[in-house]
Structures are given as C-alpha cells and as structure tokens.
C-alpha cells in the first residue's frame, strides 16, 4: 500500500467511533508510561485531541516532556499503527468547548469544559508507521512534515 493510501487508512482508523488507543508519555526518569485513551478527535491530517483528568500523571509528564507515541490496532490485530508526536495541554476555552460538544459522554466524567479537573490534550503527529501483517508484512513509514 502506498503512503497516501496508508495515511487515509490511518485517518479512518482514528475516526472510528469508540476507538481506543494507547498513549505513551515519558516520565521523570525517562521511562515510557502507557495508558489507554478514548474519545479521540482528529483535526486535519496530523492533530489529535483527547481528554484526561487534569490531575493525571500524564498531564504532568506532557508538561515536562512533550514527546509521545499513540498506538492503535484493528480488532483482529492485522493492522497496527504507531504515531510519534508532541503533546501539549490546551488552555483555549474555545477549543475545550469545541471538543466537549463533539463528545457528550464527557459530561459523565466532568462537570463542564471549564472544570478544573478537565484537561484537553493535543497531540501533533510528526511521523508514523503502519503494518498490515497479511498484506505487506513490512512497515510503511511516513512523515507528516513537522518534526521536533
């Protein structure tokens, strides 16, 4: 599969309702820390938004070191994706409200998008790697053109 088709497939996978991904951040000792995330919003080709508790360790880790990785897969595990990027905690109330409106389920966990416990994380993707084990078998890698 060529890069253009791979990137389109990755966008489809990220846009799936109820998509679960693994977000890896870097802790203070330089070790990766992984956790499951859902409620994703894809903005354009290479920006992802996800919501977290503002008290979570991942928020502290992102503020200290923005490097991160997002991993996802298909239910049958035939397709896997690794996306490398830089995360930041978003302060814009306009963006927090925008994402809140797109995911009504957040109201089950947070009082409002202005709540002190509500944190919006933006991940700007730098590059990625896609593998379909039965078609290509070998990774297809690409860059979004940004990079740190």
Ramachandran category for residue 39: left, alpha or beta (phi over 0 → left; psi -120 to 50 → alpha): left
Handedness of CA 129, 66, 41, 17 (dihedral sign): positive
Chain segment 103-137, per-residue pLDDT in tens: 989 999 999 999 999 999 999 999 999 999 877 66
Chain segment 51-85, per-residue pLDDT in tens: 999 998 999 999 999 999 999 999 999 999 999 99
Alpha-carbon distances of 108 from 69, 78, 104, 130, 144, rounded to whole Å? 27, 33, 8, 34, 34
Q: Are 49 and 88 in contact (CB under 8 A)?
A: no
Query: What pTM, to 2 d.p., does this model score?
Result: 0.90
CATH assignment of 3-143, among 3.40.50.1100, 3.30.1300.10, 1.10.238.10, 2.30.110.10 = 2.30.110.10
d(CA 113, CA 107): 9
């Amino acid at each position: 599969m060529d890069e253009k088709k791979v990137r389109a497939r990755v966008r489809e996978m990220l846009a799936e309702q109820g998509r679960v991904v693994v977000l890896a951040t870097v802790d203070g000792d330089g070790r990766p820390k992984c956790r499951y995330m859902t409620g994703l919003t894809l903005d354009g080709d290479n920006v992802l938004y996800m919501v977290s508790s503002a008290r979570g360790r991942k928020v502290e880790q992102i503020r200290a070191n923005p490097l991160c990785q997002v991993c996802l897969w298909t239910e049958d595990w035939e397709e896997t994706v690794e996306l490398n990027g830089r995360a930041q905690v978003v302060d814009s109330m306009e963006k927090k409200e925008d994402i809140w409106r797109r995911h009504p389920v957040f109201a089950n966990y947070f009082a409002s998008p202005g709540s002190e416990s509500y944190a919006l994380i933006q991940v700007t993707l730098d590059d990625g790697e896609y593998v379909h084990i039965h078609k290509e078998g070998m990774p297809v890698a690409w860059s979004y053109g940004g990079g740190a």
